[in-house]
Amino acid sequence: GPGALPDPATFALKPPLVGTATRDEIAGALGRPGLTLVDARAAARFRGESEPLDPVAGHIPGALNRPFTENVTPDGRFKPADQLRAEFARLLAGHDAAGVVHHCGSGVSAIPNLLAMEIAGLGRTRLYPGSWSEWCNTPGLPTAQG
């Protein structure tokens, strides 16, 4: 009846499908080789010219910008793997794809970049789920504009 509790059940955790990075891990690795941050927000938000959601405009220092919308064709499908591979090669400019951590405003729109790199054959990369919203709301962490 109403208000009845469900029967107890066993819940088994499985390994996540996507590796993640934490704010503290990123803060500790900023400026060091091996970490390449890729920000999926629109260029104006990345540069700090516009910030409709968070209290601080800009990006995590050293991050590269690839708006997630650049991964798809006008009909909304992912671009061909060879095209994505070439575009990410230009963006990463010699940085090891294995060290890429994707982020955006809140961890959602970074996923198309993560998937695009996998489609391109560049391997599994990681996600910073807290993204810019967590970063810019943490006192003492550096931010950049431009």
Helix axes 81-92, 111-119, angle to 10 degrees: 110
Q: How far, in Å, CA of 85 to CA of 121, rounded? A: 7
Candidates 117, 121, 11, 134; CA nearest to 71 is: 117
Residue 78 DSSP label = B
The pLDDT value given to residue 18: 85
Inter-residue contact 58 to 145 (CB < 8 Å): yes
Listed in sequence order, the residues at least 6 apart from 10 whose beta carbon sits closer than 8 Å to its beta carbon are: none
Residue numbers annotated as active site: 104
Instruction: State pTM to two decimals.
Output: 0.89
- How would you write the pLDDT of the chain (146 residues) with one tens digit per residue? 577 888 999 988 888 778 999 999 999 999 999 999 999 999 999 999 999 999 999 999 999 999 999 999 999 999 999 999 999 999 999 999 999 999 999 999 999 999 999 999 999 999 999 999 999 999 999 999 99
Inter-residue contact 38 to 113 (CB < 8 Å): yes
The pLDDT value given to residue 121: 98
Q: How far, in Å, CA of 109 to CA of 23, rounded? A: 18
The full set of domains in the chain, from first to last, is: 19-136 (3.40.250.10)
The pLDDT value given to residue 139: 97
Q: Tokens representing 26?
A: 């990123």
The pLDDT value given to residue 1: 56
Q: How far, in Å, CA of 101 to CA of 114, rounded? A: 8
Inter-residue contact 40 to 69 (CB < 8 Å): no
